[in-house]
């Protein structure tokens, strides 16, 4: 049996950790786990940059990790950094120094990528995760810098929101004006309440949430050490609150549990965030699966490289579902959106040989179609700009920042002229610009086909013949408007694909 040894490294806000996994057809097995407390986040959140000494310490720890990897003869690894490094102004230098000193290539994850990995970790943990989210379920991933709250229902993700409530961040902020105050915990609660209220009013609303899935490093520690027995994963509301109050009233928990100052500082704020979310969702049970980012990386790796079925859940569908939910909020013409999406998919498939793009690009195209006219919600004068901004400021779980920006640009140029990449050159490299242009060419045509918003094109077939993309449709309706529209919008398509979209109307 082939066994791959995989290492996952997570450079977090107050600790770095590495988990070594064995991945085989039997599944994913954790074989070692090392952690080192290092408060990178404190530097970032206070001073915007990570200081020399901490970077030095980080490199040393990572260097040790490399030797542990060697011991286990690790063949593949993935190393990621989250908000502390991401938000540090010297992030590029940090990554470079790590590379030079340890040989490790650390990638900085966007928030949405990071959250997706966590979400994959949860999904990989439990068979029947799909069943659990048939009902209303919230997932709270409390980190050091921020927290992510996601809502599931009917088997898929409905919405997800990043709130700027992170254990370390809250602690640092409250500390900065109420250090040592006897009421500092009360102030902390008050500080959180304002953010939590927004969450309640805008995202949770009247939704019925039965279970809260709680993930994050601190809750894993908390449950193992202060809670009942090690393997207990399900807590009902009262049980959790009991343990929470035990901690809240325990003045000496740092000494009692031998915690470092860094770790002790984040325990109470993070538990408070979970408690607030539990309160605001009204969930009666809590599932604490005890997973970490590294587990998600291993699951992703197993799926991608080894083709091992680690999930029974479809994440692409989640990304699409999340996009649809955003679209639902802003788009007024559902039928039009559906049409554009459907036809764009068909054009994509028909032109495969011409563009050579893969599954992931198709997903981006789909999301762009779903969101392509959301800007009209803000302004009818400048819908393209508004769409762009809307997409850019919306969390689409599972998309990297780069991908999100690609989608935003596709959306933008769907309705305005493609200005030969002016403004794109700064953000993207040539290859990415090419991809965006290929996808935009498709959305432009697809959108033009429904210029009248009446979905006149039924049973449309797309065939590439010689230098033409033949759009063969059965319709008796007058498609003059659409024909004209396509011929106006086809320049980009011709430039990119070297073939001309031609509408052939068959009246049967």
Partner 1 sequence: MADVNEYGSEFFFNRELSWIEFNARVLSEARDKTNPLFERLKFLSITASNFDEFFMIRVASLKDMVNAGYEKKDIAGMKPQKQLDEILEKTHEFINVQYSTYNRSLLPLLKSNGLTVLGSFDDMSDEQKSFCDRYFMDEVYPVLTPMAVDSSRPFPLIRNKSLNIAALLKKKNKDEELEFATVQVPQGLPRFVEIPAKDGMRFVILLETIIENYMDRLFLNYDIVTYAPYRITRNADLDIDEDDAADLLKEIEKQIKKRQWGQAIRLEIQDKMDKRLLKILKKELAIEEAAIYEINGPLDLTFLMKMYGLKGFDNLKEKPYTPQPVPGIDPEESIFDEIRRGDILMHHPYQTFNPVVDFVRQAANDPKVLAIKQTLYRVSGNSPIIASLAKAAENGKQVSVLVELKARFDEENNIIWARKLEQAGCHVIYGLVGLKTHCKITLVVRREDDGIRRYVHLGTGNYNDSTAKLYTDLGMFTCSEAIGEDATAVFNMLSGYSEPLGWNKLALAPIWLRNKFLYLINREKEYALEGRDAYIIAKMNSLCDKKIIEALYDASAAGVKIRLIVRGICCLVPGIKDVSENIEVRSIVGTFLEHSRIFAFGNNGQEEIYMGSCDWMPRNLDRRVEILFPVENKELKAKVRHVLDVQLSDNVKSRFLKNDGTYEKHARGSQPKVISQKVFCEEAIAAAKVERAGSNPRVFIPMEHN
- Which of 46, 57, 63, 72: binder of partner 1 (CB under 8 A)? 72
Stretch that binds partner 1, among 71-79, 83-91, 400-408, 451-459 (CB under 8 A): 71-79
- CA quadruple 405, 410, 412, 416: dihedral sign: positive
Asked if 92 contacts 55 with a C-beta cutoff of 8 angstroms, the reply is: no
Which phi and psi angles does 51 have, rounded to 5°? -70, 160
Compute the least distance from the CB of residue 220 to partner 1, in Å: 5
Q: Does 237 interact with partner 1 (rule: CB under 8 A)?
A: no
Q: Quickly count: other Cβ atoms within 10 Å of residue 362's Cβ.
A: 19
Asked if 22 touches partner 1 (CB under 8 A), the answer is: yes
What are the φ/ψ torsions at residue 159 (nearest 5 degrees)?
-155, 160
Kindly identify the residues of this chain, within the stretch 402-461, that bind partner 1 according to CB under 8 A.
Answer: none
- Contact criterion met (CB below 8 Å) for 142 and 270: yes
Residue 393 touching partner 1 (CB under 8 A): no
Based on the shown chain and the rule CB under 8 A, indicate whether residue 83 belongs to the binding site for partner 1.
Answer: no
Segment contacting partner 1 by CB under 8 A, of 96-104, 113-121, 220-228, 281-289: 220-228
How many Cβ atoms sit within 10 Å of the Cβ of residue 184? 16
Is residue 194 near partner 1 by the rule CB under 8 A?
no
Assess 221 for contact with partner 1 (CB under 8 A): yes
Residues 6+ apart with CB under 8 A from 136: 151, 152, 153, 207, 208, 209, 210, 211
Question: How far apart are the C-alpha atoms of 158 and 7, rounded to whole Å?
Answer: 32
Indicate whether 232 belongs to the interface with partner 1 (CB under 8 A). Answer: no
Q: Report helix, strand or coil for 287.
A: strand
Using rule CB under 8 A, residue 24 touches partner 1: yes
220 binds partner 1 per the rule CB under 8 A: yes
Q: Can you give the C-alpha Rg of the chain in angstroms?
A: 25
Binder among 7, 8, 10, 70 for partner 1 (CB under 8 A): 70
Using the rule CB under 8 A, is 198 a contact of partner 1? no
Beta pairing class for 15-24 and 4-11? antiparallel
According to CB under 8 A, which one of 31, 47, 202, 317 is a site residue for partner 1? 31
Minimum CB–partner distance for residue 249 and partner 1 (Å): 15
Q: In the set 225, 328, 382, 454, which binds partner 1 (CB under 8 A)?
A: 225
CB-CB contact of 433 with 478 (8 Å): no
Give the C-alpha separation, 360 to 364, whole Å. Answer: 6
Q: Does 71 bind partner 1 (CB under 8 A)?
A: yes
Write down the least CB distance from residue 448 to partner 1, Å. 56
The reply on whether position 254 binds partner 1 by CB under 8 A is: no
Report, in Å, the least distance between residue 17 CB and partner 1. Answer: 8
Q: Is 1 in the site for partner 1 (CB under 8 A)?
A: yes
Q: Please select the residue that binds partner 1; options are 53, 73, 206, 381, rule is CB under 8 A.
A: 73
**How far apart (Å, rounded) are the C-alpha atoms in residues 440 and 496?**
10
- Please state the closest distance from residue 48 (CB atom) to partner 1, in A: 27
- CA dist 291 and 298 (Å) reads 11
Q: Does residue 3 touch partner 1 according to CB under 8 A?
A: yes
Q: Is residue 258 close enough to count as binding partner 1 by CB under 8 A?
A: yes
Identify the CA nearest to 160 among candidates 287, 370, 321: 321
Q: Residue 7: phi, psi to the nearest 5?
A: -115, 135
29 contacts partner 1 (rule: CB under 8 A): yes
Nearer to partner 1, 168 or 374 (CB): 168
CA atoms within 13 A on the CB side of 368: 36
Find the shortest distance in angstroms from Cβ 4 to partner 1: 10
Q: CA-to-CA distance for 396 and 403, rounded, in angstroms?
A: 10
Closest to 505 measured CA to CA, from 482, 478, 473: 473
Options 46, 51, 184, 224; binder of partner 1; rule CB under 8 A: 224
By CB under 8 A, the count of residues binding partner 1 is 29
Of residues 281 through 310, those in contact with partner 1 by CB under 8 A are: 290
- One of 99, 105, 131, 230 touching partner 1 (CB under 8 A): 230
- Residue 291, C-beta contacts closer than 8 angstroms, at least 6 positions apart: 118, 121, 122, 124, 125, 215
484 binds partner 1 (CB under 8 A): no
* Sequence-ordered list of residues with C-beta below 8 angstroms from that of 182, at least 6 positions apart, any chain: none
Q: For partner 1, what does the binding mask look like between residues 32 and 51, x meaning CB under 8 A?
A: xxxxxx--------------
Q: Shortest CA distance to 141 belongs to which of 43, 12, 241?
A: 12
Q: Which of 63, 248, 257, 330 is in the footprint of partner 1 by CB under 8 A? A: 257
CB of 121 to partner 1, least distance (A): 15
131 contributes a contact to partner 1 by CB under 8 A? no
Asked whether position 205 contacts partner 1 by CB under 8 A, the answer is: no
Interface positions with partner 1 (CB under 8 A) = 1, 3, 5, 15, 22, 24, 29, 31-37, 67, 70-73, 220-221, 224-225, 230, 257-258, 260, 263, 290
């Amino acid at each position: 049996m082939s066994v791959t040894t995989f290492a996952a490294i997570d450079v977090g806000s107050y600790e770095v950790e590495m988990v070594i996994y064995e991945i085989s057809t039997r599944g994913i097995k954790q074989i070692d786990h090392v952690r080192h407390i290092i408060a990178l986040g404190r530097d970032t959140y206070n001073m915007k940059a990570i200081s020399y000494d901490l970077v030095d310490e980080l490199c040393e720890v990572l260097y040790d990790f490399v030797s542990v990897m060697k011991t286990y003869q690790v063949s593949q690894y993935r190393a990621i950094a989250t908000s502390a490094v991401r938000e540090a102004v010297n992030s590029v230098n940090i990554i470079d120094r790590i590379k030079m000193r340890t040989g490790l290539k650390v990638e900085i994850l966007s928030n949405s990528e990071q959250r997706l990995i966590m979400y994959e970790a949860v999904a990989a943990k439990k068979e029947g995760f799909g069943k659990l989210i048939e009902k209303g379920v919230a997932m709270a991933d409390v980190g050091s810098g921020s927290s992510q709250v996601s809502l599931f229902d009917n088997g898929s993700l409905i919405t997800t929101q990043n709130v700027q409530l992170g254990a370390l961040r809250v602690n640092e902020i409250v500390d900065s004006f109420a250090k040592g105050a006897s009421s500092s915990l009360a102030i902390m609660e008050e500080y959180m309440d304002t953010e939590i209220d927004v969450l309640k009013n805008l995202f949770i609303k009247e939704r019925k949430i039965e279970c809260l899935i709680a993930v994050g490093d601190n809750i894993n520690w908390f449950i193992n050490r202060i809670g009942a027995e090690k393997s207990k994963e399900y807590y009902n509301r009262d049980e959790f609150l009991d343990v929470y109050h035990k901690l809240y009233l325990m003045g000496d928990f740092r000494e009692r549990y031998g915690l470092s100052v860094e770790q002790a500082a984040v325990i109470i704020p993070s538990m408070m965030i979970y408690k607030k979310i539990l309160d605001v969702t009204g969930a009666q049970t809590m599932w604490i699966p005890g997973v970490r980012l590294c587990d998600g990386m291993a699951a992703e790796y197993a799926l991608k490289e080894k083709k091992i079925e680690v999930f029974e859940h479809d994440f692409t569908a989640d990304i699409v579902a999340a996009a649809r939910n955003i679209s639902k909020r802003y788009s007024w013409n559902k039928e039009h959106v559906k049409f554009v999406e459907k036809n764009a998919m068909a054009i994509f498939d028909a032109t495969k040989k011409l563009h050579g793009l893969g599954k992931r690009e198709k997903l981006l195209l789909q999301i762009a179609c779903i969101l392509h006219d959301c800007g009209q919600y803000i302004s009818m004068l400048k819908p393209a700009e508004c769409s762009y901004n809307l997409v850019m400021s919306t969390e689409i779980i599972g998309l990297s920042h780069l991908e999100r920006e690609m989608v935003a640009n596709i959306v933008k140029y769907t309705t305005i002229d493609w200005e030969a990449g002016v403004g794109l050159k700064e953000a993207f490299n040539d290859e990415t610009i090419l991809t965006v242009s290929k996808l935009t060419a498709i959305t432009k045509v697809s959108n033009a086909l429904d210029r009248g918003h009446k979905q006149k094109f039924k049973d449309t077939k797309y065939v590439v013949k010689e230098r033409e993309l033949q759009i063969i449709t059965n319709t008796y309706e007058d498609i003059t408007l659409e024909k004209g529209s396509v011929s106006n919008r086809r320049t980009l398509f011709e430039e990119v694909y070297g073939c001309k979209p031609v509408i052939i109307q068959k009246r049967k």
